[in-house]
Amino acid sequence: MRVLVTGATGFVGSALVPVLASREGIIVRTALRKLQAQSVAVESVVVGEIDTGTDWATALSGVDVVVHLAARVHVMRDRATDPLAEFRRTNVSGSVRLAEQASVAGVRRVVYLSSIKVNGESGVFRESDPEAPEDAYGVSKREAELGLREIARRTGLDVVIIRSPLVYGPNVKGNFERLMRTVGRGIPLPLGDVHNLRSLVSLDNLVDMLATCVVHPDAANQLFLVSDGEDLSTTALITRLCRAMGRPPRLIPVPVAVLNCCAAMLGKRAVANRLLGSLRVDIAKANRVLGWSPPVSVDDGLNRAVRGR
């Protein structure tokens, strides 16, 4: 089986490629925006920028399964004049073009990494729940899913969609990296009395789920949510991060209502929602259909993230 991985040098892709390459019977090919070194010796094809004009023919030749990870990711301080148009160019148009050419090339399955932002920013989500994205990134991922499903309906291409919450692990960037850096410096945080619950997924668990969906026959044309299977409050997350770092937690118990009020005055409602609000995903379907459960515990995942800083 030959598997093409897009976004192969990104955070998720650079962890997935060696796992797939180690599996017997799998030949990995990577699709790159530009030629660059990779952690393992695999076939590589440079495809350039991913949009409606990308030529995937060479990359798709002889491929059985595509794992589509490449995307314009969520940007905290987006400087684009029209962020939604930029997200659509890569995430929607680029994904649809890949799937269309994959169906022509005889590819059997596309495994698409989406986002729980398709469902929304807060709540408890299952695969059957309605979709309610609240930002441009979430909207673009939902539209990409719809586009891929339409191609699947029209051509018979098998499309598997995985919606992920926040991913953490070695070399993580963004909000999780900032949180680890803050905790590592021993800065006191007013988050000692937060009783929300949020789902996260370690890089190892996400990679294992992706690899499972590459080969499992019952994954065909399914949507799955993925997480570590253990939801944490912000207070608990920081406490366990401190344990992984060998540091005592420095948490000040401040009422959530006070924190929300301060965030509103500072124009930081979105930041407050991520720290104080709840977002949970139910992974029962993955267990029921695929027999999948997270192989790595939260504490092991946090330890690996800390060691990989």
Q: Which residues contact 105 (CB under 8 A, 6 or more apart)?
A: 56, 57, 60, 61, 63
Residues 164, 116: contact at Cβ < 8 Å? yes
Residue 137 falls in the annotated catalytic set? yes
d(C-alpha 253, C-alpha 235), whole Å: 9
Residue 59 to residues 24, 80, 277: CA-CA distances in angstroms? 21, 30, 42
The CB density around residue 54, as the number of other CB atoms within 10 Å, is 21
| Lookup result for tokens 């649809």 | 96
Residues 142, 154: contact at Cβ < 8 Å? no
Residues 240, 256: contact at Cβ < 8 Å? no
CA Rg value for the chain: 20
Q: Which residues contact 138 (CB under 8 A, 6 or more apart)?
A: 115, 117, 118, 120
Give the residue ranges of DSSP H helices in 266-297: 269-276, 284-290
Give me the catalytic one of 56, 87, 112, 137: 137
Residues 69, 10: contact at Cβ < 8 Å? yes
Amino acid at 241: L
d(C-alpha 283, C-alpha 292), whole Å: 9
| Lookup result for tokens 């998720």 | 12
* Catalytic residue list: 137
